[in-house]
Amino acid sequence: MTNDVLKARAEALLALHQPGNPVILPTVWDAWSAKLATDAGFAALTVGSHPLADSVGKSDREGMTFDDVLTRVAQITAAVDVPLSVDIESGYAEAPTRLIEGLLSVGAVGLNIEDTVHSEGGRLRSSSEHAQLVGALRAAADAAGVHVVVNARTDLFLRQDGDESDRVDRAIARLKEAAAAGADVLYPVGVHPPEVMRRLTSELPLPVNAIARPESADPASYGPLGVARISFGPFWQAALAERAREILARWI
């Protein structure tokens, strides 16, 4: 894939992020699921680490290597012709330049980067450390000549980190640092009450990513909350697995 194609796809992906009119990025894990999503009409996709790891018998939280991820992403980009973002967890202990070059080499033009460091016992990066990594990824993308869409994620809500009374404040402060460092999208991962989501989208300076359960959430509910991007995490794969179990159970 040429640099011009990568640049065009990165620009197209970023342009889809419109607060109040969210882009839906189905979270896929292989060429089959990617084809299902694009055949249904979705304009871009994201690869989730959890369903990707499950699909090859590995564990989430960096049970795969970065090379494992690239192998599967290459299969996806060979099968579909849309912009693709990839969840790279906390970076697999790889250098930012290696991460960017690897993603571009297989045709991906976006990434999620989280602040839980799985290669170091699951510790939480400090806000400044996470911002520094975001900045290094942005610099590496700039050097490569492609505006890779950086989705900076915080796990404060998933981890139930610290006191709940100021968790939203701390998440906003953390994500604002990531925004200043060069992120394009901010991801306070977790299923939030409407009042929390409204606060996040109103106080954060960049488009906000929400997670949704595709089989039960109301697609129309996210726009009024100011959300700019919706992804499914492991929930689409889980819903398909549940249906598959129902079908198989008839034959036991």
What pLDDT, on a 0 to 100 scale, did the predictor assign at position 82? 98
Torsion on CA atoms 218, 170, 100, 37, rounded to nearest 10: -10
Query: How many Å apart are CA 227 and CA 125, to the nearest integer?
Result: 25
Q: Map out the domains of the chain with their CATH numbers.
A: 3-249 (3.20.20.60)
State the pTM of this model: 0.97
User: Nearest to residue 200, comparing CAs of 214, 217, 179, 231?
Assistant: 179
What pLDDT, on a 0 to 100 scale, did the predictor assign at position 160? 96
CA distances from 188 to 73, 112, 174, 208 (A): 24, 11, 10, 8
pLDDT, mean of each 10-residue run, the chain (252 residues): 97 98 98 98 98 96 97 98 98 98 98 97 97 98 98 98 97 98 98 98 98 97 98 98 98 98
